[in-house]
Amino acid sequence: MNILNLFKVSINAVANNKMRSFLSMLGIIIGVAAVIIMMSIGQGSKESIRKELSTMGTNLLTIRPGADMRGGVRQDPSAMQTLKMADYQRILDEKKFVSYVSPEVTSSGQVIYGNNNTTSTIYGESTEYLDIKQWGLEEGVNFTEEDIRKASKVCIVGATIVKELFGEGKEAEAIGKNIRFKSIPLRIVGVLESKGYNSWGMDQDNVIIAPYTCVMKRIAAQTYFSSIVCSALTEELSDAAIEELTQMLRSNHKLKAEAVDDFTIRSQAEMMETMSSTMDTVTVILVVAAAFSLLVAGIGIMNIMLVSVTERTKEIGLRMAVGATGLVISLQFLIESVLISLTGGLLGVLLGCLVGQFVIPVMGMPSSIPAWSIYVSFAVCTAIGVIFGYIPARKAANMDPIEAIRHE
């Protein structure tokens, strides 16, 4: 049995029926390309989200009022007012594993300057908020501790606010101007560096940041915080910081040992893991959906090979008559099936990589093709060629040579 000769015979058989072979490959091409494209979108989205979250610091911690909602139990509304000034003050005074801390109060509404207006969200924060979020200033300065003590009506704004109220590129001119948020005048002292849109399509520059005392007293009229954001000393100390914060808050809220926390602390690393897990699940669903086309393509290859066996019955009989064994005949048709499948897989990989590298980024979607997806694609194509080529090959090998030669 000459394997090289079998390859030559198989290649000639495929080449002699170019259109039929190409149509058989088409399903594999589309299937492999679809799988690679789906995987590139999923991987690209995951990397984009991780990169975006990491820019805010992997040591970021967020404390929110109310018990953990992941169990699906809805909390009583009054339980959402559990973060008070005493909690913030205690964290400031006793923190060991936390570097920066800022209470947070938010309110949404219309912001106005002259005849221009837009809708935005105002965040009441401390002076350390920009350090926690690793956010720089394009123009001007941050508000001060004195502004917080006096609940001064000052603010720093994002690039979108400047664009909507003052015009494109007017960051420097916006400094010192008074805008109104829910009829409360606020003097702009700084303009934030532009961050653009995040992975969820939210404009990160459509934001106003003011002293938390100002937002609490003059705008939101509340005595509790929406959340408290902190920054652990290092990413490695995030768990220690969470434990430290948990003990402080439980003590402040006078919770008994068996009582459930009336607050939730989330770390940035945990958020990254959750988002990655979610994106992995979405990617698997997309890949499975695309992989069904490979199943259909495999059935198409089996159908074409069965037709080929029927058409070449006489040829098979002659080869058997001159000494070819059933194993040799079987291998010939298996090789043909694998050749069609692998060639289609190669073309599919090229198509998928081209779309993933050039077309998807042009559409504004993140894309990253994992190298292992290409290796898996080739392995799957080989398996399809063998599995779906087995029945036609077996049919050819089991032919009676005398009956095959008589076949018209």
| Conformational region of residue 364, where left means phi above 0, alpha means psi within -120 to 50, and beta covers everything else | left
CA 128/CA 337 separation, integer angstroms: 65
Instruction: Say if CB 42 and CB 363 are below 8 A apart.
Output: no
- CA separation (Å) from 282 to 70, 276, 277, 291? 19, 10, 9, 14
Q: Is the pTM above the cut of 0.85?
A: no
- In this prediction, residue 210 carries a pLDDT of 97
List all residues 6 or more positions away from 168 whose beta carbon is below 8 Å from its beta carbon: none
pLDDT of the chain along its 408 residues, tens only?
567 777 787 788 778 878 888 888 888 888 888 888 888 888 887 777 767 666 666 688 999 998 765 444 545 444 467 899 999 999 999 999 999 999 999 999 999 999 999 999 999 999 999 999 889 999 999 999 999 999 999 999 999 999 999 998 899 999 999 999 988 999 999 999 998 877 667 888 999 999 999 999 999 989 999 999 999 988 788 889 999 999 999 999 999 888 888 899 988 777 667 777 777 787 788 777 777 877 888 888 888 888 888 877 877 788 778 777 778 888 888 888 888 888 888 998 899 889 888 888 887 777 888 888 888 887 888 888 888 888 888 887 787 776 667 655
- In this prediction, residue 136 carries a pLDDT of 92
List all residues 6 or more positions away from 263 whose beta carbon is below 8 Å from its beta carbon: 63, 64, 65, 66, 67, 82, 83, 249, 253
- In this prediction, residue 340 carries a pLDDT of 87
Residue from 79, 130, 74, 70 nearest 100 by CA:
130
Helices then strands, each counted (H, E), the chain: 15, 10
- In this prediction, residue 77 carries a pLDDT of 42
Residue from 290, 285, 282, 288 nearest 30 by CA:
290
- In this prediction, residue 268 carries a pLDDT of 76
CA distance between the termini of the chain: 28
- In this prediction, residue 331 carries a pLDDT of 84
- In this prediction, residue 152 carries a pLDDT of 96
The b/e string for 250-259 (b: 16+ C-beta within 10 A; e otherwise) is: bebbeeeeee
- In this prediction, residue 76 carries a pLDDT of 46
Instruction: Say if CB 31 and CB 388 are below 8 A apart.
Output: no
